[in-house]
Structure 1
């Protein structure tokens, strides 16, 4: 009677029970593998979009910034202002992402308003100072030299990531940092013309120092942004990306406006528009598209920080290194000297070295999966 009333699975032989368990296990593993692949595809799609935004925005904004100076623009504060003041174009996206977040089931404990205000204000202050230094550097340096010096931000970012984000150093990463540092250092040994205006050795050095300082500040800001995502915001949504961009840009814009009026440069903006070589209409268009370009760049940069890391975001930014000097040579007739070619080769070599390390990390993580 006990044999007739037992459950079907209990009456099976031990071998059959084992095969049935293996089938169930394999089925669940297949489902988890499918989900993991779907997540991987979605992740790579996001990474591709953010990478395109970063490279396109950075290249367009940098070249237009050089065009502004070459055609009669001379206001450092205005050039700084347009780097951060384009954030209102992101407000429609912000409301769309807020609507989707409101309809999701994600529940988190948000940080206090005081903590958020302090975080965005601090990052906004650093952003404003950084943009001002970049504006001075672009004023006194050829755009190709300027963009190559900006490669040093990767070394600074790696240093700050080591202390703030627990970034691990490997031989390939160290090789990348050394090459990129040498690449930017080489450029101090030359003196060139910026557009049609010959700058003195003193102004060239000022431009170099300001660009290196701005690169250091940008590296610090990326590491702090990643730290804020991990320790304060603790979310991984597109709305969080827009929050970071909009609020810190708002704080930076207010600070830069204070500097613009305190410096007195606002009084000469009307005359500057009148004397712009391409006309009033293109003067406005150039400034508007600089602002748009930097906001597109910000979406890409902050998105890559959220999806990967601050160091990875900076590496992708360095990927645009060969693009800007080539376009600068075509459109602004910047000379491509031997030192600059060597600097570019070292910079690309450093970038490839870091990407290879990322490839090794991916392979290691895949082989570690069951």
Structure 2
């Protein structure tokens, strides 16, 4: 089964249509303190003249918030980021003819590719930054230590920036001696796990994702190549349309429990309370008697004291569906000395590869 690109509505920043209502303008000569007060009052600000003026305002906003908010613990860092997200998204940029209407601005191909019918509109500065970074990754590609070819992630698609769990999975695949007729990759994202399985000899990988951008991006990336005949895609939640039993199910879920409702991108980082119970229930229906269920996870939530609960341990203790064959771990590389975040907990972080079988 292969759903066509035209059937899927892509996630993208909602364009803000400019109205007659006058916006507060910000340029290099503007009063920064007064501008931040306007943001805190919930009023939008439009960046003018130079793109760098927006960068200056964002930096001043960060300094302002750091004076008021501690950012030492993992939870405090999350609270700081939430406050920064709220205020920074009141800072706007104007797009005219699919280009940023300020001087010395980056050229972002997504503005035309994602908005073919809307050439003049507004976006928030953080949204523009996200589009710009994504365009660079999409154009230039990303190297991973487990694949020969670069990934070219589509806008709004999760892709790995850390590789310890991928190396752990690749090493396991090298030793895997089971059948390699089919596998299911739940939450295929940028395709890295599926491509790893094809590299190690799997004949067919069925990939699903509830993010339409992931499906559209992979369809475009694979085109009519040999890989497109090895990897089949479906846009849907968890297992989507794939009902047939398989010998291997692979899942790289979010590693942190959600504290609030999730938006499209947060769903790649945080999981809600229903994700794992639903996944294990559906996986049981689709795993062949001698098949294996492989889950990539981390002790991140436990060592940062976000929660003591571990969803895989909980399933093994009370689910009654699966048993543990092996749990492999790999220490995460320590954070860069240049980072400004307090990441002492990284010295304790381990990525985990859980291999489960049917009871």
TM above 0.5, one fold? no
TM-score calculated relative to the size of structure 1:
0.26
- The structure whose Rg is larger is 1
TM-score calculated relative to the size of structure 2:
0.26
Point out the structure with the larger strand share.
Answer: 2
